[in-house]
Amino acid sequence: MSPLRTLALGALLLPVAAYANDPYSYAQPDEVRVNHLDLKLKIDFPQNKLDGQATLTLDWKDPKADTLALDTRDLNIASVESIDTNGKPSALQYALAPRDKQLGSKLTIQAPQHPRKVRIVYSTSPGATGLQWLPPAQTADKKQPFMFSQSESIHARSWVPLQDSPAIRFTYDAEVIAPKDTRVSMSAPNDPVHALNGDFSFKQTHPIPSYLLAITAGDLSVKQTGPRSAVYAEPSVVGKAAHEFEDTEKMIKTAEQLYGPYRWGRYDLLVLPPSFPYGGMENPNMTFATPTVLVGDKSLVSLVAHELAHSWSGNLVTAASWRDIWLNEGVTTYVQGRITEALYGKRQADEETLLDVHTLQREVGKLPANAQRLAPPPGDIDADDTLSDVAYNKGSWFLRTLEQRFGRDTFDNYLKGYFNHFAFQSITTEQMLDYLKPNLIDKYPGKMSWDEVKEWVYDAGIPKNAPIPDSPRFDAIDKERTAFLGGTLTAEKLDAKDWNTQEWMYFLDGMPDAPALDKMQQLDTAWHLTGTPNAEIGMRWYVHAIGAGDKAAWPAAAEHMTRIGRLYLTMPVYRALSKTPDGLAFAQQVYNKAKSGYHPLTQQAVEAQFAKAGKH
């Protein structure tokens, strides 16, 4: 952990971490930085591993430094060499430290001669936390095995030895050998007509942080959705995905009109098997997406707007530490809302905003004070846990407040300037605020005080004057829900025939944790919610049905939990079942059957929930 320093910021004086050295990384970037990666990989499906060779180009900062420290987790290191200007290798001494549960193993390489390049030959573990290997039976088409990475937050180190910190950006070239008829893609420009000959190469010319390093390999088809976009998915899924994401080019153009040119060339989407633990991952040039958004009516394509928005906030301007991750997720959630409003109307954008607001209002008070702050002081928190509702929803709420106070046109111009000013850099909250103060707060005096800014960023909770949008549709749903629960409106008389996904989500979110069983049975009879293919609605429905004691819904809940590995859509059902002994036993049975199809992160979360439930 780095020592504290005091940073002066206008009238603000407070201690912040010296993030030259990331507390979640063993790297010492003040001594030496990786600025380019040459990666050679061979995909070994039978052994569930990658055989790799990583050649790191180094920029030595400290003439007194004599070691290179890299992050690894469960890598088998075969050799380490320096490479001279003529390409001649020389063996280097190295030591691999014992494994830390969170950080992995520090790889210390003796390099007193400051070599320009260092090459590590290695292989990954079958249990690498950043990779998932699926046998054919766990894919949509059940024909070929499938492999994909998830490097965020600090899991890139489980498949490449590197400086695994968002503060360190590098370009990369990669050569990947795969079985024939397998398509490989990476977080770089991909060729949609590449021959499936088992030999792929990639070049990422823009410097990216390690958590955006990504790879996937499997039975993938491609359909173009625009002049610079395509959808990659298994053959049985690609048509549906291309239809759902046919507005991608419109989204890109909308974002460009607001915030400047898209600087990455192509923007493709890859729909992963259902075990993917997140909604989406903004890997440059190739967003990874969950199949749970493929509901047929585009009601959940704001996920694409979110991942596309990361091309400006996150990939272009990156949080320098996981402590600052709201700079990625909060800004992106705001930009997502603007794209959604432009393409699908203010009603849908406001409804999605209100769902986020109500989620944060329900949850924020349950969190420790530090976890309620956008930029907390250094603390003992897992890097994965920094990606919370606070980062996403409080962060975006802060930006909506700035927009309201300064006016949309003024704030758009400011945000466009912010992206240009910090393009391809990793920055801290304090650097962002150093830019905000003269370019918005002081430039337009009387709109918002600096004390209000500090309250949003550094204080716990939500400021009392935080603006909330109006939604007449949600107001009407509140009245209907109250009447239904009060017995003055029957389930079949609910005006729900034309409710979109967001409106059903809102209706169910407002139900009691343990509603009356007869009410839930009436709802199901009228609207057939058990077995819904819409996972957003299904997750909420099963949580309430379980809370009501409706065991008739358990088999469908089990199918939902088995089919979907996305943490957000699966964990609430596990938590609901874990509240009773019978439910816990059923959940454990479901997990034993579903476990092999879950990502390691999902497995960890479910097992932690069982351990917690077993203590009560």
We report the CATH number of the domain holding residue 520 as: 1.25.40.320
Residue 300 is predicted with a pLDDT of 87
Percent share of the chain, pLDDT over 70: 95
Average the pLDDT over 179-185 and give the result.
97
507 and 399 in a single domain? The answer is no
> At 19, is the pLDDT very low, low, confident or very high (cuts 50, 70, 90)?
very low
Over residues 234-250, the pLDDT tens digits come to 999 999 999 999 999 99
Q: Indicate whether 21 pLDDT > 80.
A: no
Segment among 10-14, 390-394, 403-407, 435-439 with least mean pLDDT: 10-14
Residue 179 is predicted with a pLDDT of 97
Residue 276 is predicted with a pLDDT of 87
Report yes or no on 595 lying in a domain. Answer: yes
Residue 449 is predicted with a pLDDT of 98
Q: Indicate whether 453 pLDDT > 90.
A: yes
327 and 451 in a single domain? The answer is yes
Report yes or no on 483 lying in a domain. Answer: yes
Q: Considering the chain, what is the average pLDDT of its residues?
A: 93
Output the CA–CA distances (angstroms, integers) from residue 197 to 44, 46, 139, in the order listed.
Answer: 16, 19, 21
pLDDT greater at residue 131 or residue 615: 131
Q: Indicate whether 8 pLDDT > 60.
A: no
Over residues 303-321, the pLDDT tens digits come to 999 999 999 999 999 999 9
Locate tokens 């991608």: which residue? 248
Active site residue 334: no
Number of domains in the chain: 2
Report yes or no on 197 lying in a domain. Answer: no
541 and 499 in a single domain? The answer is yes
Boundary (domain end) residue, out of 458, 480, 504: 458
Q: Indicate whether 151 pLDDT > 90.
A: yes
Q: Indicate whether 1 pLDDT > 50.
A: no
Residue 73 is predicted with a pLDDT of 98
Residue 12 is predicted with a pLDDT of 30
Residue partners of 530: CB distance under 8 A and separation at least 6: 524, 541, 545, 552, 553, 556
Check 307, 351, 352, 503 and give the catalytic one. Answer: 307
Residue partners of 195: CB distance under 8 A and separation at least 6: none
R_g of the chain, CA atoms, integer Å:
25
Active site residue 307: yes
Report yes or no on 375 lying in a domain. Answer: yes
499 and 581 in a single domain? The answer is yes
Domain that holds residue 580: 472-614
> At 435, is the pLDDT very low, low, confident or very high (cuts 50, 70, 90)?
very high
Q: Indicate whether 575 pLDDT > 50.
A: yes
321 and 445 in a single domain? The answer is yes
Report yes or no on 177 lying in a domain. Answer: no
Q: Indicate whether 16 pLDDT > 80.
A: no
433 and 483 in a single domain? The answer is no
591 and 495 in a single domain? The answer is yes
Boundary (domain end) residue, out of 458, 481, 505: 458
Report yes or no on 213 lying in a domain. Answer: no
Average the pLDDT over 129-135 and give the result.
94
Average the pLDDT over 386-394 and give the result.
88
Q: Indicate whether 20 pLDDT > 70.
A: no
Report yes or no on 504 lying in a domain. Answer: yes
Helix (H, G, I), strand (E, B) or coil at 436: helix
Report yes or no on 384 lying in a domain. Answer: yes
Copy the structure tokens of residue 153: 């937050």
CATH of the domain at 418: 1.10.390.10
The C-alpha atoms of residue 65 and residue 76 are separated, in whole angstroms, by: 26
Q: Are 210 and 163 in contact (CB under 8 A)?
A: yes
442 and 476 in a single domain? The answer is no
Average the pLDDT over 150-171 and give the result.
97
436 and 535 in a single domain? The answer is no
Residue partners of 311: CB distance under 8 A and separation at least 6: 255, 262, 263, 264, 267, 282, 284
Check 211, 392, 418, 542 and give the catalytic one. Answer: 392
Boundary (domain end) residue, out of 433, 458, 483: 458
490 and 517 in a single domain? The answer is yes
Q: Indicate whether 482 pLDDT > 70.
A: yes
Residue 4 is predicted with a pLDDT of 27
> At 388, is the pLDDT very low, low, confident or very high (cuts 50, 70, 90)?
confident
Average the pLDDT over 432-460 and give the result.
98
Residue 277 is predicted with a pLDDT of 86
504 and 439 in a single domain? The answer is no
Residue 5 is predicted with a pLDDT of 27
Residue 385 is predicted with a pLDDT of 66
The C-alpha atoms of residue 263 and residue 267 are separated, in whole angstroms, by: 10
451 and 491 in a single domain? The answer is no
Spatial CA neighbour of 326 closest among 428, 415, 425, 405: 428
Q: Indicate whether 185 pLDDT > 70.
A: yes
